[in-house]
């Protein structure tokens, strides 16, 4: 069993990496980009029977900083 966790900065939190990507795209001639939010994807290989609640607990305790980040769990 696998899970994919998408972690993104919450709305209202400044994203300097996303801004750097937006600026670089403009420098390369891609002028149609008004904003970029950068995040991360974590793929987990789980033992059979691992629940989504357990994956959520992993996120809350380690994989995401829930003060400034939100996350979404996708079971595969």
pTM for the predicted model, two decimal places: 0.87
The CATH-assigned architecture of domain 2-75 is: 2-Layer Sandwich (3.30)
The 3 state secondary structure assigned to 33-47 is CCCCCCEEEEEEECC
> Mean pLDDT over all residues of the chain?
97
Task: Output the CA–CA distances (angstroms, integers) from residue 75 to 26, 42, 51, in the order listed.
Answer: 36, 12, 9
Question: How far is it, in rounded angstroms, from Cα 1 to Cα 40?
Answer: 20
Q: What is the pLDDT of residues 22-54, one digit of tens each?
A: 999 999 999 999 999 999 999 999 999 999 999
Task: Calculate ∠ Cα 6-23-31, nearest 5°.
Answer: 100
Residue ranges per structural domain of the chain: 2-75
């Amino acid at each position: 069993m696998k899970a994919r966790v998408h972690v993104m900065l919450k709305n209202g939190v400044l994203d300097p990496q996303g801004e750097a990507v937006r600026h670089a795209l403009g420098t390369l001639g891609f002028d149609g980009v008004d904003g970029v939010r950068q995040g991360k994807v974590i793929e987990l290989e789980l033992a059979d029977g691992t629940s989504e609640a357990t994956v959520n607990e992993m996120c809350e305790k380690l994989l995401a900083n829930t003060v400034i980040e939100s996350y979404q769990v996708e079971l595969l």
